[in-house]
Structure 1
Amino acid sequence: MIKLSSLNRLFVKLLLGFWLGSSLIIGFVAVLPLLQQNHDKQPMTAKQQQLLKRTAKPFIEDPKLLEDHKALKRLHRHRSPNGKMIKFYITNDQDLVINSRQVPRTFREFLLISEEFNAPMSHQFRDELIFGPYTFTAGEQEYRIYSRVPDNHPRPWFFFFNDHKLLTTIIAMILSGILCGFLAWYLGKPLRSLKQSSNALASGDLSARVDDSIAARGDEMGELAQAFNTMAQSIETMMHNQQRLMGDISHELRTPLTRLQLSLALARKKQQSSVEIERIGYEAEQLEALIAELLTLSRVTISNTENKVHLELAESLSQILDDAEFEAEQQQKRLLIDIPENISLDHYPKALSRAIENVLRNGIRYANSDISITAIKQHQQVVITIKDDGPGIEDVELEKIFKPFYRPDSSRDRESGGWGLGLAITQAAIKLNKGEIHASNIAPHGLKVVISLPERICRSN
């Protein structure tokens, strides 16, 4: 196994992803008020101080003006040379505003901030600038003067979020969702690939593997993908070796079987026939047929040498359909054939013909009177359906009938004298053509076999 660095572990990736993402979002939202406060709060400039000093000068020279309501009113509605309304507020030693009865909330807030600042300052609110105080003495009392100017100084764009808390919360939730979505995709992609490969392997596709891009990942997902590919490779090798061994044994059995049949022929020629010899001859014929079936299954499964062609389905099946019609007539049964001539597909003709022949002959053998074979095009698939009105098969055995050497203990049983290889050969031939085969019972009685084949086979052998 590949040793992974601690930083490449999936746990560390998830921890850092969630922690950094949430920390950045929370930190950004938490730091915004502090940044805005530091940006809006500045020391009072010399120009602002001169304006306050100039405004306070008449009151220093004539303290009685502080008791003149008209003079104070004019002070509260002073206009600057550029036309902006400048308001001044004078407070006494008890911090009470003496020139206005209505004190805005922003000015009261500024008084609290200025006490903490401990120096003359200016503060930018959303729509106005307040600065001060300038302290002066009129008569024997001390006063402070402040100024409030409608103004909008340029502010960094990110201060917009501090002024719109709800929108900031929504954006933070969206960013958090995007982060979680990315992490979910990062985890889900290899898991989906593993699931697809597992399902393909379980359905019999021994070549199914996880994508190399996922196996090359340096985390636990990559290790899991590599382990799966190793397991799939071992299973494929084991199955191919088993199938090759079966084919090799079947092939090797033909030599002694041929000698046995030759010895039987010589014995019969010498008129040494007996019940025992006839029985040996019968069993030798059965053994030869079994070996032939095993060799056929081996060729279809692992050593197909046939070339793929694009041909009309009716043309490929013409010979077996003729034979099937003849066999049905001999048994006083009816065979309905509905295969349009315009249906064509990529396939291996001999393998496909053998598959259809096995199913069709089974249907003729077990049907009471009627058998049908139809073909249609459906969603870039060619669907072939074979039905009969025979006794059917137990539902629990429908998926098992395609396994080698399996014969159901039902009405379709050992009366045929077969070995349970016909439908196994059929399934192998259908898989060779990249198709699927399923069997189901028909109410009230009968069996339906559905074969789905792609019109185009992408991979050629």
Structure 2
Amino acid sequence: MRGRLFWKICLAFWCTALLINQGSWLIFFLTWDPPPSLQWVMDEKVAPVQLASARNVIETGGMPAYQALRAAMPVEQQDAIEILPVAKGAQPPAPAPNKRVMMARTPEGQQLALVYVNKGESRREWSFLRSLRRSGDYMIAAAVGGLLFAAGLAWYLTRPIRTMQRGFGRLAAGQLDTRLLPDMGSRRDEIADLARDFDAMAARLEQLLAMRDQLLHDVSHELRSPLARLNLAIALMRQNPAKAATSVERIETEVRRLDELVGELLSLARLESGGQGQDSYFELGGLVENILANARYEAKASGVRVDARFTSDNEGDSITDDSLPRHDLIVQGEFELMRRALENVVRNAIKLSTTGQVVEVELRVERGQDMEALMAPSSGRAILFVRDEGPGIPDDKIASMFDPFVRLSPQASGGFGLGLAIARRAVMALGGRISARNRSYHGRPVNGLEVQIDLPLYRGGEKG
């Protein structure tokens, strides 16, 4: 049955509103002390006065005087008093709750009974019974109005839910461009927030699937070239066995490249799936020293110099030397992840540099001294800057430089374009951030690219 939630909400609100309405109406009339009716006031207040006046007139002037008084009364009150003769020795009429009796004697000595019959109802009986008789129309109007209100409220609440149901159906059917927030209109409530989260989820799924398709395309493209060269080397070896050694050497080279590609893809997949532990720690200063030593050795072949600098905000020092000092900069995470990340960034800077240029690696330590920083689980952060003097990259390419299979320039040949992608995911796995920008000096652009890596420092690394 369609619309089950609509009817549940509608009937629940309708029954609740009806019960509250009728219950309030009943309690009101059960506890309400209504004002007396006009007839009741006449019976209770005027009747004793009329009886006393009639008795005085009869006792002084007899029945002719009473008839004159009766003629002077309003028409509706002329028959209010009934006069009954009472024989000698007879009992006068007995009083009753709705009847008042007063005795009078004429000047001739005749005894008369003056009887006034109450015509009004009691106050309580009048209000309650009449309210019950009149409440039928009110109950019908309240039921119809409550039903209309409950139906409108149920429709208002269930309409966006039906919209979201259709959106989930389209998303499950593969329509990843489905968005719900435009259908929410001017809503600014939690349902609109849910639609906004749905749109973010759909956009992320669309992006991830696009990245997967692009990754599969890039992997197939990267595998095609070495496989083609392998087939060519095998064909040449079959055609000319005398040159088998050269063909085998080519086969070994291509197999090695395939092994490197598969290794980098496995590293990337491992980082994407979150398959890294957080129970290990390493000292960042020693890691940076080791990478700098290897980088200087590799940079000599191309005539590039690698410099190092260390700065700290709480020690006030700035050191530029062949090695970075150790300051117990403990980072929580896997050593190998950070080594791969920093090594890929430094090697990329060397590849983008030419003879005579300088690659600068700066390690900056920032330790907060305020109360918030002292209560934090980390003890500040370490910031690594890797700067080169190469040509830089276009600004519109910076956002995609950390994507897989993106090569920054023809000078960066020899790789697969996975190094910076692995670096970004490795830094994120350590709880840090990585970014890049073209270098500038006092607001003016200069040659070179600057890559910044922010890492949180573990408090356990502080020594008293």
> What's the TM-score once normalised by structure 2's chain length?
0.46
> What's the TM-score once normalised by structure 1's chain length?
0.47
